[in-house]
Amino acid sequence: METILGIDLGTTNSAVSMIRDGKAVVLEEDGQKILPSVVGLDGSGKLLVGFPASNQWTLAPDRTIRSVKRKMGSGETVRLGDQTYTPQEISAIILRTLKERAERLLGQEARKAVITVPAFFNEQQREATREAGELAGLEVVRIINEPTAASLTYNPNPEQLQRLLIYDLGGGTFDVSIVQTEQGVVEVLSSHGDTQLGGDDFDHLLMDFVCDKFREEHKLDLRAALTSRSRVLKAVEQAKCRLSFDAFTTLQEEFIAEQGGVPLHLNMELSRMDYEPLIEPLLNKTLVRVDEALSDAKLTAKQIDRVILVGGASRTPMVHRLLQEQLGQPIHSEVDPDLCVSMGAAIQGGLIAGVDLGPVLVDITPHTLGIQCLSERHGFPSHYHFAPIIERNTALPASRSEVFGTCFDDQEKVLINVFQGEHSDVRQNEAVGGIELEGLANAKRGHEILVRFDLDLDGILTVTATEKMTGLEKKLTIDNVMSRFRSEDREQAKQRLEAVFSGSDAAAAAERQPPTPEPDEDLSPEIKGPIDKARELLAQAERLLDDANQQDAEEMQELIDQLREAVNARAVDDIQDVSAKLDDLVFYLQDAL
């Protein structure tokens, strides 16, 4: 069967995929799956495409062309050296490079391709893309929308009715589309975006932050000279990517500038906490677009079946967090957000060629992994707060780190208790292990402890706790975190099934059984306080029960039962919530009776 390539011709990066053994595979060369969409000429006039061109951009902008996709179909031309080119010609160079990569790997000619374009591209822009493909020697069998391609990656057999929200945050552009699939048809219901917003803006904000700090210290602006500016920009882009996985990172650029004959080095620590406030206003703008796309499609967030992340900058953890808060559902990024569109284009090619396609298989974490910590919730401290570190559905292998603070001045040790599950209260999740980091330096409360999780493809979790100030470190390896959970899931499912088949609900009842509460004297004051208050309230409510009318008594009995359950489970948050309701009712009844 003839191979049809799937090509994502992106503003910042491009990629090519094909179907192999029923699966979409990205074609990789020299360890690189993406090809920067950059074309240039070196000092001797030799053509450069991809990384070599991208590397020379800041130093030789007159000999380098980036983001030519923005000009497609506009009638504008671009200059490269002493020649003028159409955007189609520059795009054709990128497409030809990808075609040749495919041919080297296939060992035969690759003639046909499906190419993706943004949903907002008009007819002229689509035509220009088709022309670029033909100039590259490709027969463009179809031009498809990028969100359509992304949706195919997650759902290659779009038979059932499904609505997907595709959030695509690339280097220079942002798009959000609502895609509906049904009976093999994929339709873009609405699309919104900002053609001037992306990860490159984040780099500039971070560069300004770093340069301002450096100027305060050395009275020298690194942005003033092209070479130091370009080095800082490159370094912050890499640091930005590291901050997606780690809570802290260090910028280290030797001999970045000179002052009075003395060399200056850039050596600065950056934290996610420094970085996130810089980009928050831009991310809020994208959330407004998300709302607009939903409203144009006449849908609410609840009617969306899946939220999918596309584009390199969507790896930013704050994107996940804000979207999850806004849409109230899990966010999917299991398929590499940089490669998802080209894989979807290959799937479309496979569907055209009549290839039998299986679902896309990626190894992911089935549950969130995190640690127990103290946190204030609804104004009350809770010892059982679950702080996620690796979120559910993260593609494997995965590494993430977060920073935590000690609770007291001069705290000597911290306990790192690892749990997996989705509940914000660790007691509802599965405990998988723990370590103690002892011998901490004398320091004020809030002394920083870094916790790093490395989860490999075999489900082996390595937990590293490090005291940031001294480097004191302790490691723990937990085998088969995922398979353990899965087998327990299976066990529970088996029990439930048996209960159903035997007509008994014993297993379900056992599952609902609240955990045996620990004795009161073992409780910390933060938990004991609310529990004592709740018990007083329960006694007060019970005294009123007999005198209340039937409706009020029923309502109160329900709250009494809920509060007892929360007290038994030591669930401080629930105790606060239910107590507030019961307190209102008691107040009202005392007044009325």
State the minimum distance, in angstroms, from the CB of residue 573 to ligand AMP: 33
Shortest Cβ 144–ligand AMP spacing (Å): 17
Based on CB atoms, which residue is closest to ligand AMP, 86 or 316? 316
Out of 199, 370, 388, 459, which residue is the one contacting ligand AMP (CB under 6 A)? 199
Give the DSSP letter string of 187-239. EEEEEEEETT-SHHHHHHHHHHHHHHHHHHHHS--TTSSHHHHHHHHHHHHHH
Beta bridge partners of 116: 8, 144
Rule CB under 6 A: which of 327-346 touch ligand AMP?
338
Closest separation in Å from C-beta 332 to ligand AMP: 16
Regarding 40 and contact with ligand AMP (CB under 6 A), the answer is no
CB-nearer residue toward ligand AMP: 87 or 171: 171
* The one segment of 194-202, 301-309, 555-563, 571-579 that binds ligand AMP by CB under 6 A: 194-202
Instruction: Select 336 or 425, whichever has its Cβ closest to ligand AMP.
Output: 336
- Tell whether residue 147 is a contact of ligand AMP (CB under 6 A): no
Q: How many CB atoms lie within 10 A of CB 173?
A: 25
Give the whole-angstrom CA distance, residue 164 versus residue 329: 12
Report in angstroms how near the CB of residue 309 gets to ligand AMP at its nearest: 10
The rounded distance, in Å, linking the Cα atoms of 342 and 149 is 7
Sign of CA dihedral 196, 197, 198, 199: positive
Q: Does 13 bind ligand AMP (CB under 6 A)?
A: yes
| Contact pattern from residue 229 through residue 268 relative to ligand AMP, giving x for each residue in contact according to CB under 6 A and a dash for the rest | --------x--xx--x------------------------
Q: Report the nearest approach of ligand AMP to the CB of residue 383 (Å).
A: 33
Instruction: Please report, as residue ranges, which positions from 478 to 497 form the binding site for ligand AMP (by CB under 6 A).
Output: none
Binding residue (CB under 6 A) for ligand AMP from 89, 131, 146, 200: 200
DSSP 470-522: T--EEEEEETTHHHHHHHHHHHHHHHHHHHHHTT--HHHHHHHSPPPPPPGGG
User: Can you tell me the distance from the alpha carbon of 193 to that of 186, in angstroms, rounded to the nearest whole number?
Assistant: 20
Residue with tokens 């929308």: 145
Of the two residues 40 and 170, which places its CB atom closer to ligand AMP in the complex?
170
Question: Which residue, 198 or 370, has its beta carbon nearer to ligand AMP?
Answer: 198
Cα–Cα separations (whole angstroms), residue 38 to 421, 443, 589: 43, 50, 73
170 binds ligand AMP (CB under 6 A): yes
* Minimum distance of ligand AMP from residue 202's CB (angstroms): 7
Question: DSSP alpha helices (H): ranges in 515-571?
Answer: 525-545, 550-568
In this structure, what are the phi and psi dihedrals at residue 529, rounded to the nearest 5 degrees?
Answer: -55, -60
311 is a site residue for ligand AMP (CB under 6 A): yes
Q: Based on the shown chain and the rule CB under 6 A, indicate whether residue 12 belongs to the binding site for ligand AMP.
A: yes
Phi first, then psi: give them for residue 337, nearest 5 degrees: -60, -20
What DSSP string describes 160-176?
Answer: S-EEEEEEEE-SS-EEE
Question: Which stretch, 8-16, 47-55, 122-130, 156-164, contacts ligand AMP (CB under 6 A)?
Answer: 8-16
Instruction: Return d(Cα 323, Cα 321) in angstroms, integer.
Output: 6
Instruction: Number of residues interacting with ligand AMP: please give it, by CB under 6 A.
Output: 19
- Smallest CA-to-CA distance from 363 within 244, 482, 477 is with 482
Nearer to ligand AMP among residue 12 and residue 180 (C-beta): 12
Q: Which is nearer to ligand AMP, 39 or 481 (CB)?
A: 39
| Strand-pair category, 35-36 with 4-9 | unpaired
Choice between 337 and 530, CB closer to ligand AMP: 337
Residues 558-577 that bind ligand AMP (CB under 6 A): none
Q: Crossing angle for the helix pair 572-592 and 550-568, nearest 10 degrees? A: 150
- Least Å distance between CB 551 and ligand AMP? 56
Of the CA atoms within 13 Å of residue 269, those in its CB half-sphere come to: 7
Give how far the C-alpha of residue 44 lies from the chain's centroid of Cα atoms, to the nearest Å: 42
Q: Distance (Å, rounded) from C-alpha 173 to C-alpha 310?
A: 11
CA angle 118, 123, 128 (to 5 degrees): 80
Q: How far is the CB of 173 from ligand AMP (least distance, A)?
A: 8
Binding residue (CB under 6 A) for ligand AMP from 129, 228, 316, 406 = 316
Q: Residue 485 contacts by C-beta under 8 Å, 6 or more apart in sequence?
A: 366, 367, 420, 430
Q: How far is the CB of 401 from ligand AMP (least distance, A)?
A: 14
Among 315, 385, 452, 570, the residue binding ligand AMP under the rule CB under 6 A is: 315
- Which is nearer to ligand AMP, 237 or 577 (by Cβ)? 237
Query: Least distance in Å: CB of 191 to ligand AMP?
Result: 17
Which residues of the shown chain bind ligand AMP in the complex (CB under 6 A)? 10-13, 170-171, 198-200, 237, 240-241, 244, 311-313, 315-316, 338
